[in-house]
Amino acid sequence: MAGAAPGFLALMLGVAIASDAAATEPHVVSLDYCADQYVLGLADPDHVLAVSDHADDRHSYLRAQAQGVPQIRDDAEDVLALDPDLIVRGYDAGGRAAAYFERLGLETFELGYASDFDDVEAMIRRTAAALGRPGSGEARISHMRTQLARAADGPRLNALYMTPSGFTAGSGTLMDAFMTAAGFDNVIASQGKSGWVTLPLEQLHAQQPDVILAAFFDGETAPIDSWSASRHAVFRRMMETTPVIYLDAAALSCGAWFMADEALRARQEANALFGAIEGAMP
């Protein structure tokens, strides 16, 4: 390119750099709704060959972004037909087909499992790197940190997490980390309980939390049947006499950056709710 203008050379260099960057971004499919969130939220849309057939379900947080994207089941035939460079799956999705994909030389990436926001950061960073989009990952992490910092602004409150099926979260769970980040002290964790446990209905009258955090009460993601714990008189009485903050189930169904947005929303609702209660006291 002897004699070429400097502007032209700079333009061609920029095109070459962009082409090299695009070449490192694999064409990808995701096999379950959690993998869908990471692929839809981090990958270049032009490199997404397909998402799972649950990507536009109610419990999929990025369901709006899934509109118009081809959907596939997590069986080998559908995936192979697309000839992807990378297959992304959650820790429990496509398990039977994973070994088959590997035998065929197809690269698979498993998100892993998160029990706190440090784990979520690591998942974001690893997945973004696998997708050739580290910048997207760092942007999500930065946003998440900002939201979590904002969520810490307010008085700490004792909280009980409830689902209509009668489960709650103890220490060592991402839900416990969510509560802590949003300024709530988890009454179940304070009792020394860890992991996911059944609500101790007989002891609920002694819990006296300041607030109940309720999730999956929309009747679609977790239908309430006649045997549900939510039918129990103690459960119903607490829901009637204790302030309740209803959480967006889609924001909690996958450990990702948007949990921080929901933590901030819950904190803001708590601040407004308890400010109103204090203002109403004589």
The answer to the question of residue 182 being in a domain is: yes
Local confidence band at 20 (pLDDT 50, 70, 90 cut-offs): very low
**What is the tally of structural domains in the chain?**
2
Together in a domain, 120 and 183: no
Together in a domain, 136 and 160: no
Query: What is this structure's pTM?
Result: 0.84
Percentage of the chain surpassing pLDDT 90? 60
**243, 210 Cβ separation under 8 angstroms:** yes
Q: Name the residue range of residue 242's domain.
A: 154-280
Together in a domain, 98 and 158: no
Question: Rounded mean pLDDT of 49-64?
Answer: 94
The answer to the question of residue 2 being in a domain is: no
Question: Is the pLDDT confidence value at 197 over 60?
Answer: yes
Together in a domain, 100 and 174: no
User: Counting beta carbons within 10 angstroms of the beta carbon of residue 4, is it exposed (0 to 12), middle (13 to 18) or buried (19 or more)?
Assistant: exposed
- Residue 113 CB coordination number (10 Å): 12
Q: Phi and psi dihedrals of 51, rounded to 5? A: -120, 175
Local confidence band at 24 (pLDDT 50, 70, 90 cut-offs): confident
The answer to the question of residue 12 being in a domain is: no
The answer to the question of residue 4 being in a domain is: no
Residue ending a domain, among 146, 164, 187, is 146
- pLDDT of 18: 41
Domain with residue 29: its CATH number is 3.40.50.1980
